[in-house]
Amino acid sequence: MFVDHSFFGFARFGTIDDKVEYPALLIRNKHISYNDSVLNILGEKHTLTLQFDMLLRGNPSNALIPLGDYIIIPNGAQLLLRAKDIINTINAVRDKYGYSKLIYLQGVSDPYLLPILVYMGVSLFDSSLFELRGLKGEKFTPIGIVKTNADASKENLNFCNDLLKSISISIENGILRDVVERFQFSNKASEILRILDSRFYSLSETYFPRRTPRISASSLDSLNRPDLVRYREYISRSYRRPRGERIALLLPCSARKPYSTSKSHKMIINALGRLRPYVHEVIVTSPVGLVPRELEATYPPGFYDIPVTGNWFEEEKEMIGSMLISFFKNNSYTRTISFVTEDLDFIKEFLPAGNVFIRWDKSSNDSLVELVNSIKEIINTENLQLIRYNFAMEKYIQIATYQFGEWIEPYLKDAKIKRIYNSDMLILDGDPVLVYNEKLGKFTINKRSAQWFLENKKFCVEIDDFKPTANVYPVGILNATEDIRQEDEVVLHYKDEIRGVGIAKMPINAMKQLKKGTAVKVRN
């Protein structure tokens, strides 16, 4: 019996019979043995038959062996010769068996493929080829394989076990994607990751967590992280600017997050002074793309790090350019001003006609004065009148719309902001409905607002007839709405009776298919 403890999309960390943690390396004659058509896996004996599961017709190399809690892929060495073959096979296994079985891939000889294979959903590996390479004098190290005249088989097993332990920790801590991107000793691993991100984005996005603790954007592969693509698609397709500001002001990013807390952005904000209500500040950055000021503290804009070199890769320029075109197609402004550093000169070709382009020279105040004068000139020339509105409330409506969807906006039209216990709360009829978590840059749901989600069938988990306490397990879940991603705020209900709220800790398919593990962490 296996029990999952943590997920990162397809990847899972757990224990088998409370003894062996997975993802795991199965050692010959210790964890796994074969004798007279009987396969012994972790103390559980199975009689092997020739009844293979041919998921991918026409390709006999894709034969699988269903065996108790496991699906054995016996021909990993052959499948790994072509990235698309291993991807198609693992996808086919997940399509048919979901999370109900652990995937056991045999025949892996490259230890540096372990992170990407776990990321795809493989939980068990065998030790045979790792030991064999050690017997041949090939030693696995953190910087690659080195040749030695000694038997390195035991050291190789220790290396693989330590690596899998680190992968388990990364799943627990929500940083597996960062590990996969950084651990790129294998060209095959890079190839698999790029195919997954490009050709299978829709599938990956469905399972990828809504948020992670941090994004370490250390390579171009980070551009295609499903959570970053998810955000950029929202800005490009769904985002609509606040109702008040009519001058778009494009700004460069800062190392400090949120940007408005940085020294450079404070200079701009102070210089704008009373002119600020006329402008809509939008930050241009990579790998996030465009960040409207009101969303700067949300995920992912407030939670990424990137090496700053002053040089932009062509892929980054293309991404920024595409977003700018879509952004200004969907959001009209009286005028556009770009107040950017020299490295962002490339955005000129993607801006609307009549834009004002000002080079920001941080060594003097002259460019700031030019910015202020340009805004004043536009206000006077266009005879712009200040539209008074509640900036803070507009910001929170934008955040709620981004987090939950446009459907929630009408519910907030009469809401007020109240500061209680060092947190901003949105109040309706004297009752808190949403609480803003400044540390996480998101809203939390309470039972008062839970009814809205139930009425719209959004972020809802239907449970059996019980009162949830600390955790809800999959065995008690009847259904869940398809919009839920791991780490989302969710509403728990039984036959449309609200039973609580909490945070999703599994992908929805895992909630529906498993019996054990924490599906929802209950808040109240």
Would you say residue 212 lies in a domain? no
Q: Are residues 337 and 294 in the same domain?
A: yes
Q: Are residues 105 and 195 in the same domain?
A: yes
pLDDT of amino acid 349: 94
Would you say residue 183 lies in a domain? yes
Q: Which amino acid is located at 187 in the chain?
A: N
The last residue of a domain, from among 381, 396, 431: 381
Q: Which residues, 6+ apart, have CB-to-CB distance to 202 below 8 Å?
A: none
CATH for 439:
2.30.130.10
pLDDT of amino acid 40: 79
Q: Are residues 252 and 159 in the same domain?
A: no
Q: Domain range spanning residue 233?
A: 220-381
Would you say residue 388 lies in a domain? no
Strand positions, DSSP E, 396-467: 416-420, 423-428, 431-437, 442-445, 460-463
pLDDT of amino acid 48: 61
Q: Is the pTM of this model over 0.75?
A: yes
pLDDT of amino acid 390: 82
Q: Are residues 181 and 229 in the same domain?
A: no
pLDDT of amino acid 62: 55
Enclosing H/E stretch for 365? none
Would you say residue 208 lies in a domain? no
Q: Number of structural domains, the chain?
A: 3
Q: Are residues 474 and 443 in the same domain?
A: yes
The last residue of a domain, from among 169, 199, 229: 199
Q: Are residues 431 and 472 in the same domain?
A: yes
pLDDT in tens, the chain (524 residues): 899 999 999 999 999 988 899 999 999 878 887 776 677 787 777 766 544 454 544 454 457 888 889 999 988 999 999 999 999 999 999 999 999 999 999 999 999 999 999 999 999 999 999 999 999 999 999 989 999 999 999 999 999 999 999 999 999 999 999 999 988 888 999 999 999 999 999 999 999 999 999 999 988 999 999 999 999 999 999 999 987 778 999 999 999 999 999 999 999 999 999 999 999 999 999 999 999 999 999 999 999 998 877 789 999 999 999 999 999 999 999 999 999 999 999 999 999 998 999 999 888 899 999 999 999 999 999 998 887 778 889 999 999 999 999 999 999 999 999 998 889 999 999 999 999 999 999 999 999 999 999 999 999 999 999 999 899 999 999 999 999 999 999 999 999 999 999 999 999 999 999 999 999 999 86
Q: Are residues 71 and 136 in the same domain?
A: yes
In angstroms, rounded to a whole number, what is the distance separating the alpha carbons of residues 136 and 139?
9
Q: Which amino acid is located at 329 in the chain?
A: K
Q: Are residues 116 and 237 in the same domain?
A: no
pLDDT of amino acid 51: 47
Question: Are residues 450 and 458 in contact, defined by beta-carbon separation less than 8 angstroms?
Answer: no
